[in-house]
């Protein structure tokens, strides 16, 4: 269980930032998280449609994971993005940037209007996360396979610094085909980084097709287990499972945790769900209108 009382910031039903501590038992309710996720998905669709380029499928598959992390798990202070005690997040699958940006703006890291400058010249929202221009983005990513090593380094620094900062990394499933991921997997276990939690967005699709066809990953959970990680599998769209999984990692000592979150690429918009095509394709006008209709009705 949690040794201290982590502060959680989230937006309550009236849209106001609220501080909750674990011992108050005021954990955000699930319907509230679902509502945030619905709004984040609306923002993602809006951003991608306006940008005209970007990654639709992987942003929507990662949305619930990001909402669970940022609204119900991590210690954050959006008013002070560099607050030293904050937990750290690495979006190793950097192409899901729209989802991260939508979450950050909803937390108040920057105004929501900025979302709709995504990928434009001079925008603070680069095509892939850039820590030098976006408040709340800890690490610049985009070239796959590099985020877990960086997260390891942050977790080592946190250990040296004391203070109990935890580090979270979100990986894509296609991404773990990169060899560096497995170097980093060994490192995290070797250095017993129990302040590190990786979540794997297991949506089973990558640009060229199904992961099983492009490059087999299974048995994935056994691989992480064999590499020395505390490994669990959850439904990446079910908040009770995501939150329980994240909570479980607090009790793990002496090794890093891997949460394999089973997801649906394009989740939330029927025409995008499980469609390889929408990895890196944005909605057309008709698709955009249908997506908004579906998400408004959800």
Question: For binding to another protein (CB under 8 A), which residues are involved?
Answer: 88, 130-132, 138-143, 146, 148-158, 160-161, 179-180, 183-184, 186-187, 190-191
Question: What stretches of the chain adopt beta strand conformation (E)?
Answer: 7-11, 17-21, 88-91, 167-172, 196-202, 205-206, 209-210, 230-235, 257-262
Report in angstroms how near the CB of residue 154 gets to another protein at its nearest.
Answer: 4
- DSSP class of 282: -
Nearer to another protein, 151 or 291 (CB): 151
Nearer to another protein, 107 or 189 (CB): 189
Decide: 215 and 273 in contact? Cβ < 8 Å. Answer: no
Which residue is it, tokens 């950050």?
Answer: 104
Report in angstroms how near the CB of residue 132 gets to another protein at its nearest.
Answer: 5
For residue 187, give every residue at least 6 positions away whose Cβ sits within 8 Å of its Cβ, in sequence order, or none: 149, 152
Nearer to another protein, 137 or 205 (CB): 137
Query: What burial class does residue 294 get, using C-beta atoms within 10 Å of its C-beta: 0-12 exposed, 13-18 middle, 19+ buried?
Result: middle
Whole-angstrom Cα distance, residue 8 to residue 19?
6
Instruction: Provide the 3-class DSSP secondary structure of residue 173.
Output: coil
Report in angstroms how near the CB of residue 246 gets to another protein at its nearest.
Answer: 21
Report in angstroms how near the CB of residue 186 gets to another protein at its nearest.
Answer: 7
Nearer to another protein, 143 or 222 (CB): 143
Classify residue 259 as left (phi > 0), alpha (psi -120 to 50) or beta: beta
Question: CA 18, 128, 201 angle in degrees (round to 5)?
Answer: 70
Decide: 246 and 69 in contact? Cβ < 8 Å. Answer: yes
Report in angstroms how near the CB of residue 2 gets to another protein at its nearest.
Answer: 22
Report in angstroms how near the CB of residue 161 gets to another protein at its nearest.
Answer: 7
The alpha carbon of 115 is separated from its chain's Cα centroid by a whole number of angstroms, namely 17
Closest CA to 141 of 191, 102, 186, 175: 175
Nearer to another protein, 21 or 124 (CB): 124
Nearer to another protein, 145 or 266 (CB): 145
Q: Is the peptide bond before 6 cis (omega within 30 degrees of 0)?
A: no
Report in angstroms how near the CB of residue 216 gets to another protein at its nearest.
Answer: 22
Nearer to another protein, 190 or 293 (CB): 190
Nearer to another protein, 137 or 242 (CB): 137
Closest CA to 151 of 79, 61, 89, 59: 89
Decide: 186 and 193 in contact? Cβ < 8 Å. Answer: no
Report in angstroms how near the CB of residue 193 gets to another protein at its nearest.
Answer: 11
């Amino acid at each position: 269980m949690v040794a201290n009382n982590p502060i959680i910031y989230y937006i309550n039903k009236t849209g106001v930032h609220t501080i909750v501590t674990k011992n108050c038992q005021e954990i955000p309710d699930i319907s509230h998280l679902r509502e945030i996720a619905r709004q984040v998905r609306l923002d993602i669709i809006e951003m991608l449609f306006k940008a005209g380029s970007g990654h639709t499928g992987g942003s929507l598959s990662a949305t619930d994971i990001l909402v669970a992390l940022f609204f119900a798990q991590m210690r954050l202070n959006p008013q002070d993005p560099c607050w030293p005690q904050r937990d750290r997040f690495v979006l190793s699958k950097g192409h899901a940037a729209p989802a991260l940006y939508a979450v950050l703006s909803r937390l108040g890291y920057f105004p929501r209007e900025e979302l709709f400058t995504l990928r434009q010249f001079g925008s603070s929202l680069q095509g892939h996360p850039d820590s030098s221009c976006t408040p709340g983005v800890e690490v610049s990513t985009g070239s796959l396979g590099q985020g877990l090593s960086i997260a390891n380094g942050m977790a080592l620094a946190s250990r040296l610094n004391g203070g109990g900062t935890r580090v979270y990394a979100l990986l894509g499933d296609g991404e773990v085909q990169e060899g560096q991921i497995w170097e980093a997997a060994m490192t995290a276990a070797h250095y017993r980084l129990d302040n590190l939690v990786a979540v794997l967005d297991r949506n089973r699709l990558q640009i060229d097709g199904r992961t099983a066809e492009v490059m087999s990953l299974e048995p994935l959970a056994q691989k992480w287990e064999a590499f020395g990680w505390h490994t669990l599998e959850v439904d990446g769209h079910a908040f009770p499972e995501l939150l329980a999984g994240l909570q479980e990692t607090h009790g793990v000592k002496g090794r890093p945790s891997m949460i394999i979150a089973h997801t649906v690429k394009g989740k939330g918009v029927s025409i995008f769900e499980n469609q390889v095509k929408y990895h890196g394709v944005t909605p057309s006008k008709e698709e955009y209108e249908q997506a908004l209709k579906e998400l408004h009705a959800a």
